[in-house]
Structure 1
Amino acid sequence: MPSARIRVPILQHSFMYNSSLEQSSEGSSLISDVDDPLFGFLDGGGNYSNYETSSSSESSDRGIDDEEAMDLGEEEEEGARNEEEVRMFWENQHQLVQATLCRTSSLETGIRNLTKEAVKEIEMAGTICACGRVMVGGCRSCLMAEIAGRLRNAGYNSGICRTKWRSSPDIPSGEHTFLDVIDNSKRGEVRVVIELNFRAEFEMAKASEEYSRLVRRLPEVFVGKIERLTSVIKILCVAAKKCMSEKKMHMGPWRKHRYMQAKWLGACRERKTPSPSTASSGGDLAAAAAAAAGCLGRRKARSSMLTVDLLDMLPNMHCTAVGVM
């Protein structure tokens, strides 16, 4: 007769085995004695929750710190980039001015040398102006007339040009006087502008140091073609706008590009061609100044038709006495 067999499930056997182990006389769990982080992590459900919470908090705080550090780094990087852009801008403006002013032609060089010589001799001659005004270096009108006369003596078609423009929504009205030379060559008419006070036309009272340094690179007396003058005006006007933007100040309409263009590039309303100069050297200029001073000293005072010499008329005047009641 076949014997009966009882099958015990393996899981139940394992459970019974584990239970017997846990209920051993030693009163301690064998599994808990095993130093294994994986088991320890699985057994401690509450510990896992605490770990997750603290880990999330630390990650959140670390994320905020990282974001602040990134923002600060971006601001510093942006500030450094802006400073570099500003530095490159002003360096570029200096290079443009230098490159524009260094270019010259034989016509410009000849006119520039004659103008420089005339200005130097007039300054050495004294302070007596041809119009009788006592001013340092003479008045602007007589100075321009003298230089234009000298240029005409040298064979140049020089004149005193006056531009005038009306007001518009962008710029106010105004006028400006300067010298020019018109040369007719095979290539056509070439106009050279002579500005005796060029640097001062671009100076600003509250300008930045970068803009002031750029203006100091300009010559006091400018002699150049229209194309060269146009380039210099554009460079300086862009720099003036940048300067006012950096200082957060309003830019006056008389500093705008259109206004500066109107001074020299506008339509010439009047052009005077003074007679050739009679003074050809510094000695002649000094003699002319001395003669003018002598004439001024010997000039008799003229009596006005509006004045009456009462002293001559009083002896011949007869007044009737009038009694006062």
Structure 2
Amino acid sequence: MDLSSAQYNLRNWYQKHYRPLPWRKTRNAYSIWLSEIILQQTRVNQGLPYYERFIENYPEVKDLAEAPQTEVLKLWEGLGYYSRARNMHAAAQYIVAEHNAKFPEQYEEIRQLKGVGDYTAGAIASFAYDLPYAVVDGNVQRVLSRLYAEYEAVNSGKGKRRFQALADEFLNREDPASHNQALMELGAIVCKPKNPDCSVCPLKDVCQARARGIQQELPVKQKKKYDRKRYLNYWFIQQQSNTWLQQRQEGIWKGLFQFPLYESGQELTNSEALQLLEGLGIQRSELEVRRCPLPLHKLSHQSLLITVWLLRLSPDATLIEGEAWKKVTVSQLEDFAFPRPLRKFLDENQLTLPLD
């Protein structure tokens, strides 16, 4: 393969066809970092409004560092994978404390930031500072797997090393920023997972998969073998205008608020739920119950089967509050950051409105 010619064709294509996204119009490392963190596990059209809100609320890294974590999580609400927001907030505080609020300029220093891996560090280093680091995301893996007809599984340890080596080999070191962006963009809008548009691809003449007619076979992925099922039961207790929350102290939703949680080994029946509620001092005669199963919520290695139990207590009913429960009014629920399934449930059922 004539690398220089392929690099030239790729860069020329990108200059004509790239999407004018806001983080591509800047060399500001902070802005680029924000976009990269937001776009981890997130589609561009979903992440764009979050990026704009974060830039508007925290125009500089010190603004983000000084914000309360609860405020950052609230702004992140609905985007999922909340550890990204917590790590981003911690990294901003680290930059202020250790780098005098100046975003680090060397790959090794960027890589030390919490929540930043090899890909994100390489992206920031190349996009902001034109440093010669090849970035490998899912789009890049797909392009390279077809370009080189590489059958190594992209999600295996050996495959990740192989595709990083191919990306390093293919990198245009004279213009790494444009090259990396172009390769990612090619995978996003032309070399798509299904039905790639090979006729307009700038690399079609050197693509080994196209020459052999095996585009649809690549990339290869190992099938995931582990899928843990968890049964989450949330008690949404309403007594007049009040309800109760607790803040998660661990797990993927750490720092977010939720209704009091009971995790069971299997789906609860109404009778089993009522028995558990008696442990909170609630008498059946003082209670109205409605069971609300939510859609299956899939994570990378687990499936969450979520049920919200709507429990309306009579005004004179007693309740034994659990540890760290927080009593709030229903109308205040809009002010708290919830995991996405619970926020969607509240919005769809208009349960942040005052009770009758």
The TM tier, using the shorter chain, reads under 0.3
Q: Tell me the TM-score normalised to structure 1 length.
A: 0.26
> Which one has a bigger Cα radius of gyration?
1
Q: Tell me the TM-score normalised to structure 2 length.
A: 0.25
Higher helix content, 1 or 2: 1
